[in-house]
A and B are shown apart, each in its own frame.
Chain A
Amino acid sequence: MIDPIFLAEAAVNGLLLGGVLALLALGLNLIFGVIDIVWIAYVDLVMICMYAVYFLVQVYGWPIWIGGLVSVELGALLGIAVHVLIISPILGSAPVNQLLATGGLLFFLQSFATFLWTTDHRSVRLTLPTLEYGGMFLSFARLVAFAVALLVMLGLFLFLRHTYIGTAIRAVSQDREAMALMGANPRTVYVVTSAVGGALAGVAAALLIIQYSVHPFFGAAFGPLTFMICVLGGLGNMIGAFVAAFIMSEIISIGGVVWSTEMGYVIAFVIFVIMIFVRPGGLFARRA
């Protein structure tokens, strides 16, 4: 029998991991909801930003929070670049071409990172304490990452709810042609959405590099999980993605303690496959 305190610790860790996963899923979902394209290489953009933070902080000795801000800006720029250079020219073509193009970007980024920085695992070494609470050991880095992720998601919510462009982004995701009739240039809305999605990747990168080491195939670890969360929550459904992120992270975290980390992922993916059959439209599929 497993000590309940380990289970409690796993549950808390799952919750903390869920914050960052939710951030990734919301970024990907935002882009899909508005532009109708899945950025297969989304987490690989995160990987590039993680390297940026690594070099700034670990090699050049910049404070981590400035590294984080640079990461957000780099993410936004990468988001705009992906849209303008790759997505925009093929917007009207078959969806499979768009998947192939962003899939190609994924391989490009992985190879590019391997070529420049080798396959070494690199991490930012911060001297952050481990907290003990009621017999549970919790990493301070994870707590910070969770808190920042929640704050950023709150900011995203307020942006989408209360600004003109944010409301326009939601409107375009419901009816892009009607929004053009209101005077919104769809191109502008797409670029802003891509920038916001990219900036979220930048935030996630800064939060991940203080917990995990980065390597060229980092995207392979978190990418599938992020897509799974988006599909489970219902593609384009922000609330669904938010909830699904926590469900998945809890399964992985608790499964990891009860059996093993690998088993945690196996269980999560099996549950995902079953859910696809039971609720193909996602957990919170809206009735038509």
Chain B
Amino acid sequence: MLELRNVTAGYGAFTALWDVSLDVAAGEAVAVVGPNGAGKTTLLRVISGMIAPRAGALTFEGASLTGRPAYEVVAHGIAHVPEGRRIFPMLTVADNLKMGAYLKVARRAYAESLERVFALFPVLSERRRQRAGSLSGGEQQMLAVGRALMSRPRLVLLDEPSMGLAPVMVLRLFDLIRRVREEGYTILIVEQNVRQVLKLVDRAYLLEAGHLKMEGRAEALAEQDFVRKAYVGL
């Protein structure tokens, strides 16, 4: 479904990703783990078009997305839940979700999408008239995920969804992401919470200092020094 071939990317003179190749098959849940500053966020930003790769190719469902801007990538069916949630704090919860359905095709299916999102995250329905900035961290993360689903994506990119959340909320959030998965969305998730995320996904990649170091089935990797290795960098 998603293929990255020899992608190199960075900011200015700094190169954050070196020659990264990665695949995600339809229906899969894949994690990219690794220490802080390994280039995990950059990887997602390249996929969603927030930055253009310096070299390499990016294809999604057979179409080349290399160097396409973010507003075009989302129209191809990739939704990005960015690091730090990036909800619109002064808009209501309902307006945030409405903006998630900004694309014309998504707008037509707005009512149906909204129903699905509210079924997944009932708390968003309760708080729909509230300003998004007034929600708790966990609720804001649910809103960020719900907003992404409103664009009717097939692939969802999640960047550190557990960041800044209380431990109890982290567990709840991973449960919710599992339910999103069961809805049939393909997921590519970046996480520092390695132990939790490996219980959620089928496969994982280890990214270190911009290089992909390892790749394998989640259960197998969880048993290895791979996990310890990822933690050491923290």
Contacts and interface: CB of A to CB of B under 8 A. Distances in A.
B48 A181 contact: yes
Nearest to A286: B90
Interface residues of B, number: 27
A180 B71 contact: yes
A178 B82 contact: yes
The 4 closest A-B pairs by CB, nearest first: A178-B86, A183-B103, A180-B70, A182-B102
Given A167-B99, A171-B95, A183-B103, 18 more contacts: A164-B98, A167-B98, A171-B91, A174-B88, A175-B86, A177-B86, A179-B99, A179-B102, A180-B71, A181-B50, A181-B70, A181-B86, A181-B148, A182-B71, A183-B71, A184-B102, A185-B71, A186-B71
A168 interface: yes
A177 B87 CA distance: 11
Interface residues of A, number: 17
Interface in B63-122: 69-71, 74-75, 79-80, 82, 86-91, 95, 98-100, 102-103, 106-107
A183 B79 CA distance: 9
A184 B70 CA distance: 9
A182 B87 CA distance: 11
A182 B50 contact: no
A181 B86 CA distance: 10
Interface string B115-135: 000000000000000000000
A122 interface: no
A170 B151 CA distance: 19
Contacts of B91: 167, 170-171, 174
B89 A171 contact: no
B40 interface: no
A interface, over-half SS: helix
Contacts of B70: 177, 180-181
Interface string B35-70: 000000000000010100000000000000000011
B147 interface: yes
Contacts of A171: 88, 91, 95, 99
A222 B109 CA distance: 47
Interface string A146-180: 00000000000000000010011011001101111
B86 A184 contact: no
Contacts of B48: 181
B166 to A, nearest CB: 22
Nearest to A188: B71
Nearest to A167: B95
B99 A182 contact: yes
Contacts of A180: 50, 69-71
Given A183-B151, A185-B71, A177 B95 contact: no
Given A180-B50, A182-B147, A168 B90 contact: no
Contacts of B87: 178
B160 to A, nearest CB: 15
Interface string A183-203: 111100000000000000000
Interface in B142-176: 147-148, 151
Nearest to B157: A181
A222 to B, nearest CB: 29
Interface in A116-164: 164
B107 A164 contact: yes
